[in-house]
Amino acid sequence: MELATDERAEQYGTDFPARAVYRVPSATFTSRKPLAVMKTFGRLGNGFLRARRLLEMVQPHVVVGFGGYPTLPPIMAARSLGIPTVIHEQNAVMGRANRLLSRFADAVALSFSSTKHLRRSAEKRAQVTGNPVRDAVLSYRNVPYVPPEPAGRLLVLIFGGSKARISSPKCCLRPWNGCRRPYAGG
């Protein structure tokens, strides 16, 4: 197994059990300004060419993308070379990159059967597989739940993905208004 990612996600590949980690340029559409859009397309095009050369060298049997714009160049390059492709959507709402790639992917793996924004054309290629979970997380599955004491402190941990980074804490803290000193970290 080998890992291809962009420079933003490269730092997280250290725990991934890959024989090698390759950097493939990518970019996210963050602006509608013509110059910024052209720059993004340029990085994606560069990533496509680099991914294509990488795939010709590595000769994988399948290319799997786990969402986000870093998956666009390798999945599109694999498709152009006739290499089977799979995308995995771990969220209940399909992201923009996976929505686009679901048109071309040979298979679509979902964590939830009710995933929103799955293209109708991809439904026949979709399969609910669940979400891959690290062994470190699985080790807690048999830890018994200990309910808090009725008069004790209740600690609520709120976390979310990149799109939820601003709205989740504010939304989740509203019901707690009036309670003693809620803390919102970030």
pLDDT tens, the chain, 186 aa long: 667 666 666 565 566 666 677 777 777 777 788 888 888 888 888 889 999 998 999 999 999 998 888 888 999 999 999 999 999 999 999 998 999 999 989 999 999 998 999 988 999 999 999 887 777 778 888 889 888 787 777 666 666 655 555 555 566 666 666 665 555 554
The predicted structure's pLDDT at residue 165? 53
* Opening angle at CA 160, ends 74 and 73, nearest 5: 10
The predicted structure's pLDDT at residue 159? 61
The predicted structure's pLDDT at residue 151? 77
Residue that has been written with the tokens 């699985």 in this structure? 138
The predicted structure's pLDDT at residue 181? 54
Tell me the domains of the chain and their CATH numbers.
3-133 (3.40.50.2000), 151-186 (no CATH)
Helices (H) and strands (E) in the chain — how many of each? 5, 6
The predicted structure's pLDDT at residue 156? 66
The predicted structure's pLDDT at residue 28? 78
Q: Can you tell me the distance from the alpha carbon of 63 to that of 101, in angstroms, rounded to the nearest whole number? A: 12
The predicted structure's pLDDT at residue 158? 62
Of 78, 80, 75, 114, nearest to 98 (Cα)?
75
Q: Which amino acid does the sequence have at 104?
A: F
The pTM of the full predicted model, rounded to 2 decimals, is 0.69
